[in-house]
């Protein structure tokens, strides 16, 4: 069975601090996909990244970066120089090879204060 664990329920930081959101997953599949989504208070899911299990290269997109470590089954997300607009709930998710049916973690609520 697939499982995603986001141990951090809520994180509070002050603007401009760096913050890392942890994600640990479990799967028996050799081919799988990992995702991060942002859910602002309005509720919609904003897609941030999709990574397949064969690509362990770290990725950077502006202030966002992701660290995929297959050896520890982790896919952590770092926001550099956080901003108030980053306040949201962030979900890590896992899917089988077809990356359609997603299993979500419980989410991490990030609060960035000015």
Partner 1 sequence: GAVVSQHPSWVICKSGTSVKIECRSLDFQATTMFWYRQFPKQSLMLMATSNEGSKATYEQGVEKDKFLINHASLTLSTLTVTSAHPEDSSFYICSATHLVFSPLHFGNGTRLTVT
Give the count of beta carbons closer than 10 Å to the beta carbon of residue 27.
18
- Taking CB under 8 A as the rule, does residue 49 contact partner 1? no
User: How many residues are present in the chain?
Assistant: 114
Residues 6 or more apart whose Cβ sits within 8 Å of residue 39: 45, 46, 88, 89, 90, 91, 107
- Taking CB under 8 A as the rule, does residue 69 contact partner 1? no
> In this chain, which stretch among 20-28, 57-65, 71-79, 104-112 interacts with partner 1, using CB under 8 A?
104-112
- Taking CB under 8 A as the rule, does residue 111 contact partner 1? no
Contact with partner 1 (CB under 8 A) among 44, 71, 85, 114: 44
Cβ atoms 102, 38 nearer than 8 A: no
- Taking CB under 8 A as the rule, does residue 107 contact partner 1? yes
Task: Report the interface residues with partner 1, using CB under 8 A.
Answer: 42-45, 47, 91, 98-107, 109
């Amino acid at each position: 069975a697939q499982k995603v664990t986001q141990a951090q329920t809520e994180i509070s930081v002050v603007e401009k601090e760096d913050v890392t959101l942890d994600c640990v997953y479990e799967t028996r599949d050799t081919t799988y996909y990992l995702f991060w989504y942002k859910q602002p208070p309005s509720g919609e899911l904003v897609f941030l990244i999709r990574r397949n299990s064969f690509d362990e290269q770290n990725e950077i997109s502006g202030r966002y970066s992701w660290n995929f470590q297959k050896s520890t089954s982790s896919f952590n997300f770092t926001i550099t120089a956080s901003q108030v607009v980053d306040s949201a709930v962030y979900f890590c998710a896992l899917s089988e090879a077809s990356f359609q049916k997603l299993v979500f973690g419980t989410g991490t609520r990030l609060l960035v204060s000015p």
